[in-house]
Amino acid sequence: MSILVNRDTRVLIQGITGRVGRAQTTYMLAEGTQIVAGVTPGKGGTVEQGVPVFDHVGDAVRVRGADMSLLFVPPAVAEDAVAETLDAGIRMLVLITEGIPVHTTMRIRRRVEDAGARLVGPATPGVITPGQCKVGIMPARFFTPGPVGIVSRSGTLSYEVSAQLSAAGIGQSTVVGLGADPVVGTDIVELLQLFDEDPETRVVVLVGEVGGTQEERAARFVAQGMRTPLLAYVAGRCAVADVPMGHAGALVREGAGAVVDKIAAFEAAGVPVAASPGCIVDLVRRLLAPDHASSSTHAVVT
């Protein structure tokens, strides 16, 4: 099985006629994603790569029946675009856009929650269930179907980890890019809950990084009774306090967000922690082994 997306997901793309939207539509169609409609104001009635384009999300949903929206929209209109999507009845959104102000994202998240919807992003590479559906900008050649779920705060590290697993003959159930901003629509714990409920996800890899407290909350969730084996890697051992490292979400402040604190939280919860991305494959193999013990593993794997 999978989480969030599968071969039956009917995707609408907001911004389908833009440079990025058009290119990514090509790649998603090649992976079998059901892109049923596009939306670009002023381009209604045109066709993009066989996909009908509408001026408004409501019209696209009424005519084509989309159940997920992928948004390639500028930061200045992201809030209005999300509101239009929710008003049209779509309850699953993936927001690729980078550079959205934090307070705007907070308003977006509140509106999504009030609507009973789910938002992945912003600043996310998207979601992929290999062999079934790709929603976003992830390079599909790195992913293969299999039993390992991945949730990552880093887009490129999600590609690297998936590529290494695939090269070792270990596929992925679903890979989710959490989003790189300090505030995101769906956090790590929510995604771990979804993976834990998926009977075909046998191991989950969490790729964390400096900044924020999501990893610590994930460790508490594991300690409270997550059934699916989890392993973690935390990037940013060399991060300097109060200096942004790569993007807005990776900021260590005094007393919060340091790698050592995150590793300590995982160890206390019995979650094995890889010392580097190159250690993840061997650790996954151990957790997938038929004789894998259910007892906790308090170790940093080197």
Name the residue among 215, 125, 128 with its Cα closest to residue 177: 125
- In this structure, how many other beta carbons lie within 10 angstroms of the beta carbon of residue 76? 12
56 is catalytic: no
**Of 227, 233, 164, residue with least CA distance to 201:** 227
How far does CA 70 lie from the centroid of its chain? Answer: 13
- Complete edge-to-edge strand list for the sheet that includes strand 34-39: 47-48, 51-54, 34-39, 10-14, 68-71, 92-95, 118-120
The single-letter code of the amino acid at 259 is V
Sheet architecture: strand order including 300-301: 133-136, 126-129, 172-177, 145-152, 203-209, 230-235, 273-274, 300-301
Out of 56, 103, 247, 292, pick the active-site residue: 247
Catalytically annotated residues = 247
